[in-house]
Amino acid sequence: MTLSESEDNSNDSDLRVGPALKVGSRGSALALIQDHVVIGRLKANSPNLNFEVDTVRTRGDADQTSRLAGMGLGIFVKELEDELLNGKLDIAVHSLKDMPTLLADGLVLGAVLSREDPRDVLVNRFGVPLDSLEKGTRIGTSSPRRAAQLMMFAPQVEIVSIRGNVETRLRKSQGDEADGAILAAAGLIRLGLANQVTEYLSATKFVPPPGQGILAVECRADDHHMMNLLAAIDDADTRYEATAERTFLERLGGGCSVPVGAFAQCTGDTMNMTIFMSTEDGEKNFTSEVNGPKTEPLALATEAFRILEEEGGADLVAVARENQSYQA
């Protein structure tokens, strides 16, 4: 489907003659909105560009019964990467938190856009904050990280597994399968559903997964025309934050079988990062904060990992490396 047609302007140096640029996407309402965000940014710089969105059904979309935590990171990405590599797509738009730390050979992150709200949020049919939920309230999530942090901060609730797109999880959390749910703020904001939020959860306490709130645009490394277009919409501070968070995850082996979170934030020339790991029941957990120059995200992530190993989390790291099946 063509989202926007190019205007005739022979003086525009970015005019692309021939077929529209093919944008790969999952088919959910949120994914399509994210495509519009990326296309809007690109057209702001090069208004003559023409785009078509091709929706691709990923394994994570097709399998609605398996436990996400056992399916591994990349289940919402691989089919899009395959289409990029075979030339059927020019770019693919992803939620960065869904992406493996190592991309397929020949592909790169051409742009990371300025970050939307990185926090998790609580929605529930009672309209009360997390610490006021009554014993036995059913809170839905398919994320081991969210489940572990719920057990830490709201041990009175009952955690139930719910899957589906944002709209489906919202419906299920209104008494159908659950009384509430933990979701990403960014998805609700982009869908215009921020009015459904009961409570925003602190990103330094209820630590989000690496990359939450960030849109990433993947392209072929040898497509220099596309790389130049994407460079214009890349956000430097968000790139620093994403690099620190994903490098920390990579230090664990690129995936993790235990709940893990990492949140970096640039303030001026400094970057602060909070990391979190725990057992699935939340009983043994580790949280730490590090800070340093924002232009040294690799060093910051390495320092965070050193602290994790040396100050109480070495056994968690060992478990993580035994089974690389990370799921945010």
- Tell me which residues are annotated as active site: 98
* CA–CA distance, 316 with 115 (Å, rounded to integer): 29
Q: What is the DSSP string of 134-203?
A: PTT-EEE---HHHHHHHHHH-TTSEEE---S-HHHHHHIIIIIS-SEEEEEHHHHHHTT-GGG-SEEPPT
| ∠ Cα 108 142 112 (to 5°) | 20
How far, in Å, CA of 115 to CA of 213, rounded? 6
Cα 291 from Cα 296, distance rounded (Å): 10
In this structure, what are the phi and psi dihedrals at residue 181, rounded to the nearest 5 degrees? -155, 160
Tokens of 275: 């990391």
User: Strands of 51-55's sheet, edge to edge?
Assistant: 2-4, 51-55, 21-25, 91-95, 215-220, 107-112
How many C-beta atoms surround the C-beta of residue 201 within 10 A? 20
Is-contact 92 24, C-beta < 8 A? yes
| Cα–Cα distance measured from residue 28 to residue 24, given in angstroms and rounded to the nearest whole number | 12
